[in-house]
Amino acid sequence: MRHTSLVSVYISLLIALLCQLFPWVGQGIILRPDFMLVVTLYWLLRAPHLCNVGTAWFAGLLVDLATGSLLGQHALSFCFTAYVALSYQRRLVLFNKGQLLAYVLILLLIERVLILLLKLFTGNENPGLAYLLPIISGLLLWQLTIFIFGGITRPKTSTS
């Protein structure tokens, strides 16, 4: 396991929150990825001893407070997604890049569907298929996150 510090986790989460707060105008807002979720998932998969279900829950709560949505709905979906992410975390070493991407896709999908269910329960209208677009942008953001912070697992060629 590579060394990661708790400070870097929290700073990156704060930057993700800042991106989430960034005012998006026009139609582009539909494409906006879920910054907080992607960064949380990254740290969950890379350093579960620093960022666990509790951190994910708190990140979700922050998103709820910042977006003004029903308090707890993002928290719930984040912590459930985090649980699913962690349950396969130890097998990630065996995954290649494509499989990892598919795994993240499934996680993002789970989060979106959970939020949709909660929203439908609380009486929002059906948003249509455009609701799933942030998953695609989320995958792009995932690749960017890996590019910035480094891969999830230790590269096989290095000896350290």
Q: Would you tell me which residues interact with other proteins (CB under 8 A)? A: 17-26, 29-30, 32, 48-49, 52-54, 57, 60-61, 65-73, 75-76, 79-80, 82-83, 86-87, 90, 118-119, 122-125, 127, 131
Q: How far is the CB of 30 from other proteins (least distance, A)?
A: 5
Q: Which is nearer to other proteins, 71 or 97 (CB)?
A: 71
Q: How far is the CB of 38 from other proteins (least distance, A)?
A: 16
Q: Which is nearer to other proteins, 49 or 158 (CB)?
A: 49
Q: How far is the CB of 123 from other proteins (least distance, A)?
A: 7
Rounded CA-CA distance 64/36 in Å is 11
Q: How far is the CB of 64 from other proteins (least distance, A)?
A: 9
Selection from 80, 87, 78, 79 nearest residue 35 by Cα: 78
Longest dimension (CA), the chain: 55
- Give DSSP secondary structure letters for 36-61: HHHHHHHHHHH-TTTS-HHHHHHHHH
The residue to which tokens 């929150």 are assigned: 17
Q: How far is the CB of 97 from other proteins (least distance, A)?
A: 25
Q: Which is nearer to other proteins, 8 or 52 (CB)?
A: 52
Q: Which is nearer to other proteins, 31 or 97 (CB)?
A: 31
Q: Which is nearer to other proteins, 54 or 151 (CB)?
A: 54
Rounded CA-CA distance 122/97 in Å is 38
Rounded CA-CA distance 72/57 in Å is 9
Selection from 74, 97, 108 nearest residue 152 by Cα: 97
